[in-house]
Structure 1
Amino acid sequence: MAARAMREMPLGVPKLLVSTMASGDVSPYVGAKDVTLMYSVVDIAGVNRVSRRILGNAAAAVAGMATAPVAGGTDDRPLVAASMFGVTTPAVETARARLEELGYEVLVFHATGAGGRALEGLAGSGMLAGVLDLTTTELADDLVGGVLSAGADRLTAAGAHGVPQAVAPGALDMVNFGPRDTVPDRFEGRDLYVHNPAVTLMRTTTEEMAELGRRVAGKLRAARGPVALYLPRRGVSALDADGAAFRRPEADAACFAELAAGVAGSSVEVVDLDLHINDPEFARAMAERLDRMIKAQGGTA
């Protein structure tokens, strides 16, 4: 109950919870907010020589957070959120550099499920001038059953709050699992790529890519703010480049066709480029278009 209340508080407000649950899976308590958890070691059943010390440390910690000066000075640059994965890092780094040149502060969120949820939470907070959602891969995990889903509401908050968005189908070519032996049996025979001992990737099929295109289009079509959708014809991730393990132009084409059809007749601008997603020209084009949308809506940089 306390954690739920804390998650409703603004980012930056000190939040500390002492709990017997803090040594397990704490994602239901923390969510996408800056909640600090401290393990109580013993149950909260009266004060004893152990709990007295732990509760005292907790009180001192939250008092210190409450009285500490705000770090970082006063940066009044408009905030832009960007989504990134290892296979889209070159694109996001290029876009971030260009946005910083244009006068923005860029917050990068790793598309690991928790990162996408955090981005969505910030997009609904009123703090963002725009979103560079270049890496929408968490939607593939949500569709197929991977381990990095950010939930069905991914790619909705910015649109619901009218925040300008530049969006790309970054890394929709893959679904994420843990070690190779943790991949569910139902996926045996699928196109798997062992990225490292802890991460196994699975290529999305043509049918899955088409469905992802429909889902993304539906979310963008519902947006209340300006949206520019960028399609990288030469691949959506580092593994979807010419000669790479996941290069399947026909699967990407199915996704792009559904994206274009799904937003036809709406205010969503579609920019179809004969570039790879990690080409610098692609990233700079997205960054500069987002800048123009922000300024047209009255934002400053």
Structure 2
Amino acid sequence: EHGADSGGDEQQQAPPAVAVAAQQLVGRVLAEGAGAITGMVEMELPHETEGRPAVGMTTAGVTTLCAMRVRELMESWGYEVISFHCNGIGAKAMEELAEAGRLVGILDITPHDITDLLFGGIFPANPARMEATCRKGLPIVLVPGAADFILFGPLSSVPPEMLQRKYVIHNPIHTHVKANYDEMKAVGRFVAERLSRSTGPSVVLIPSKGFSQLNVPGGPMYEPESDRGFIEGLEEGLERKDIRNVSVKTLDLHINDPAFAETAAHHLHAMIKNLRFLPQP
């Protein structure tokens, strides 16, 4: 049996659309029309956060623990963190804010929508994914969180040949199917091609013990030989273009380990500090 039931519910683990937790931008974003992320935005009221530099972060239920620790640290250092669900619409909204000059950095820790874009998942990225953030030269920390599976609808909607792979019935309407080596390599190449256009600094952090909640040693989606494809595609793409402003670091951690989240937060803060004056942690 290749399948498993996660017992999870994406609706409970993370909002099914753009989750904007940044109080700083609420009024201005709505007033300027970026609130036309129509009904897809979850916000809280301001609490004396005006003037705090904002960073964008992609999230999902299966990377929640990483996102929570990153948020805790970044907020303690004086940032506002705006979270966007990895459903395609979320990243597009994040990149629109980046294009408008509202963000000082990007924590793209859940680029799952790229995998769905390339391989027919139900939450595909906009084809211009990552272009705006790279064009602006923003500091970027990218992690292949949840890029390790293709999201389909109910189990009955999954192509029969895909059922020979590892898969998880996440809930009655979402099925996670493990991306294979070639697919992960294509995602790595996509990321390398986009980062190669950026004039700003970028760090790609690889969690060698798994890219999502159930991709963990002993878990139903653990398949490190497939995940290796992401690293190889990324490194080949960067080497071919002789890119110097992108570094790749592999950590012997799972994406949801606190130490991994702390490394991601420290890297982004350090890159932002090098570009502008910000409060010291």
Please give the TM-score of this superposition, normalised by the length of structure 1. Answer: 0.76
Rounded Cα–Cα distance in structure 2 between residues aligned with 1:275 and 1:257: 18
Q: Counterpart amino acid of 1:197?
A: P
Match of 2:257 among 279, 294, 297: 279
1:13 equivalent to 2:31? Answer yes
Q: Counterpart amino acid of 1:198?
A: I
1:293 equivalent to 2:268? Answer no
Q: Which is greater in Rg? A: 1
- Percent identity at matched positions? 36
1:270 equivalent to 2:248? Answer yes
Counterparts of 1:12-161 in structure 2, within 5 Å, are 12-13=30-31, 33-35=36-38, 72=47, 75-161=50-136
1:208 equivalent to 2:183? Answer yes
Deviations 1:214-272 (A, max 9, x none): 11111111112111111111111112100111111111112112212322331101122
SS at match of 1:239: coil
Rounded Cα–Cα distance in structure 2 between residues aligned with 1:156 and 1:248: 30
CA separation of 1:12/1:72 partners in 2, compared to 1, >3 Å: closer, same or farther? Answer: farther
Gaps of 5+ in 2: 1-27, 40-44
Rounded Cα–Cα distance in structure 2 between residues aligned with 1:96 and 1:162: 22
Match of 1:197 among 169, 172, 182: 172
Q: What's the offset of the Cα at 1:72?
A: 5.0
Rounded Cα–Cα distance in structure 2 between residues aligned with 1:147 and 1:299: 41
Counterparts of 1:216-235 in structure 2, within 5 Å, are 216-235=191-210
- Tell me which residue corresponds to 1:173: 148
Q: Counterpart amino acid of 2:248?
A: V
CA separation of 1:93/1:71 partners in 2, compared to 1, >3 Å: closer, same or farther? Answer: closer
Rounded Cα–Cα distance in structure 1 between residues aligned with 2:100 and 2:178: 34
- Answer yes or no: is the 8 Å Cα contact 1:213–1:255 preserved in 2: yes
Rounded Cα–Cα distance in structure 2 between residues aligned with 1:212 and 1:91: 21
CA separation of 1:190/1:129 partners in 2, compared to 1, >3 Å: closer, same or farther? Answer: same
Q: What's the offset of the Cα at 1:155?
A: 2.0
Q: Counterpart amino acid of 1:123?
A: A
- Answer yes or no: is the 8 Å Cα contact 1:12–1:34 preserved in 2: no
Q: What's the offset of the Cα at 1:35?
A: 4.3
Rounded Cα–Cα distance in structure 1 between residues aligned with 2:233 and 2:98: 26
- Answer yes or no: is the 8 Å Cα contact 1:32–1:114 preserved in 2: no
SS at match of 2:126: coil
Q: What's the offset of the Cα at 1:184?
A: 3.9
Rounded Cα–Cα distance in structure 2 between residues aligned with 1:88 and 1:137: 10
Deviations 1:184-231 (A, max 9, x none): 456343433111112111110111011111111111111121111111
Q: Counterpart amino acid of 2:250?
A: D
Q: What's the offset of the Cα at 1:290?
A: 0.4
- Tell me how large the CA RMSD over aligned residues is: 2.1
Rounded Cα–Cα distance in structure 1 between residues aligned with 2:205 and 2:107: 11
Q: What's the offset of the Cα at 1:166?
A: 0.7
Rounded Cα–Cα distance in structure 1 between residues aligned with 2:105 and 2:54: 7
- Answer yes or no: is the 8 Å Cα contact 1:174–1:203 preserved in 2: yes
Please give the TM-score of this superposition, normalised by the length of structure 2. Answer: 0.81
Query: What is the aligned length?
Result: 245
- Tell me which residue corresponds to 1:51: none
Q: What's the offset of the Cα at 1:293?
A: 0.5
CA separation of 1:283/1:268 partners in 2, compared to 1, >3 Å: closer, same or farther? Answer: same
The runs of 4+ residues in structure 1 deviating greater than 6 Å are none
- Tell me which residue corresponds to 1:41: none
- Answer yes or no: is the 8 Å Cα contact 2:180–2:227 preserved in 1: no
Counterparts of 1:250-265 in structure 2, within 5 Å, are 250-264=225-239, 265=242
